[in-house]
Structure 1
Amino acid sequence: MTNNFELRHVHVTRYMMPLREGGSLPALAEADDDFKYVLKFKGAGHGPKALIAELIGGQIAKALNLQLPELVFAHLDEAFGRTEADEEIQDLLQGSQGLNLALHFLSGAITFDPAVTTIDETLASKIVWLDAFITNVDRTFKNTNMLMWHKELWLIDHGACLYFHHSWSNWEQSAKSPFKLIKDHVLLPQASKIKTIDAEFKAILTPEIIRDIVNSIPEAWLQREDIDSSPNAIREVYYNFLVTRLDHSEIFVNEIEHARS
C-alpha cells in the first residue's frame, strides 16, 4: 500500500565521522545518492526501539507540517566498516548491518539557542504539543535538539520519545499520562496557544494517518526477544497508544498549561 509516509531507501557508501554528541554514537555518512546523512544505528544503545521512536516522531512531525530533515531508510552491507580502526565503531557498524535510519545532513546548520533566537508563540506551541503527545524527553535547555538552517527552525532527534516501549507494560496508563517532564521544555515559555493548536492538530492526525505512520515501521525492527508478540501485534500497540493519547489530549494539554502557570 502506498502512502505519504513511505521513505526512500539509500545504501551507505562511506562512514565519514562519529557525531559524539549523541549517546547512541550517530555518524555522518555518505550514501549512493551522493547526499550526506546523519546515520542512526540499529546496533546502538536501545537498538531498533530508538529507530522506531525516531521514525514515528519524525513522521508525526512531518504530518503536522513541521520542518525536519528528510528521513530515509539506510542500508549497511555486510562488508561495511571492516576497515574502521576504532573497535567501538567497528562493533557498532557490524551490529548494524541491514536496515537503519538516517536524516538528511543540513550543512551549515547551527544548534538552536533560545538566548539568541526567539520563536513565535504559534510555532512554539506546535512543537511543545508535539513533544507532549509523543512523550519526548529531549528538547530541553540542556539539549534543544533543534537546528537553525536558512533562518528556519528544524526539528531533529526523536529517538528518546515513546519511552513506554522500553518496558512495554501498562501502555494504556502511559497513553493517558500528563507527561510532567514537559515542564523542562525549552519552548514552554512561548507556548501560549496550546488549546488552539490542540484542536488544529487533532483534526490533522486522523486514525488513518496514525495507521499509515505505524505501518511504515519495518518488520525487521519489530522482532523483539524481550516480549512474546508478533510484529503486527507490536504495531497495534503503537497504534493504540497514539490514538488513545490523542483521544485524551486534554490530559497533557492541561499539564502544559499547569507547567506554564
Structure 2
Amino acid sequence: MKLFNFFYTRSSCQEEKPPVLKKGLLRFFQIIWIEFWNLILLNIIYVVFCLPLVTIPAATAALTAELCDMIRDRPRMLVHRFWSAFKREFKTATQLGIIGLAAAMVLTALLIIIPVFLPPIFTYMLLPTTVILLFVFCMIWIYVYPLLAVTNLPLRYILKNAVALALMQAKYAAAAVIICGITLYYALLYFPVSIPFLFFGVLSLLGLVSTFATWPGIRDHVISEALQKANTSLLDDADEWAAIWNS
C-alpha cells in the first residue's frame, strides 16, 4: 500500500507541474502544441461571430484577446472571455474597423485605377509606391487589435502606438504580414476547397502569427513603460496589471 501511495503521489505532482515556457520561435510552436484544440474551437467561434459581417471588428478584437492570453499563458475560460471581450470592445473595435476598411479600400482602389487610367510613366512611379503603402498599412494594422485587447488606451493612442511599433519592430511586422498574406492568397486561390480549413483553424492560426509577432513590441515598449511610470517593477502584481491591461 505504501508503494502504491508513493507512485500515485509522485505521478500527481508531475501532472500538476506547470509546463516550462519556451523562448522565441519555440514558444510559438509550444502554444500550437498545447492549445491545438482551443485554437480550433476559437476559430469556429470567431467564424460564427463574424457571420453578420458588421461584427467582424469586434470578433477580431475578442479573438485577439484570447490569443494574447494564450501567449501570456494566462488562465482563462475561452467562451466566457471571448464573449466578454466582444461586448466590451464592440464600439471601439467597430470604429477601428471602419477606419481600417476605408484605408484599405482607398489603397486597393488606387492599385486598380493607376494602371487603367494613368499613362505608363506615372504607373511605373505610383504603382510601386501604392503597393509599399498598402504593405506598411498592413504592418501597422496588425498592432491595432492586440493594443486594443491588452490596454485601455483611447483610439487615437492605439493608432499612434501602432504606427510607432510597426516602424520600431518592422522586421517582425513584415514577416507576419508576408506569412499571413501568402496563406490568405492560397486560401483564396483554392476557394471553395479551402473553406473547411478556414472554418476549423486557419484564421485562428493567422491571428496567432500576427499576435505573436506584435506581442514583444507591445510588452517592451507599451506595457513595460507604463509600469515604469507607475513606479513598480512587479510585473506579476495584479493591481498594477489591472490598472493597465483589460481583464
Structure with bigger RCO (C-alpha 8 Å, 6+ apart): 2
Structure number with higher helix proportion: 2
User: How would you bin the TM-score normalised by the shorter chain?
Assistant: under 0.3
**Larger Rg computed on CA atoms:** 2
Structure number with higher strand proportion: 1
Q: TM-score, normalised by structure 1?
A: 0.25
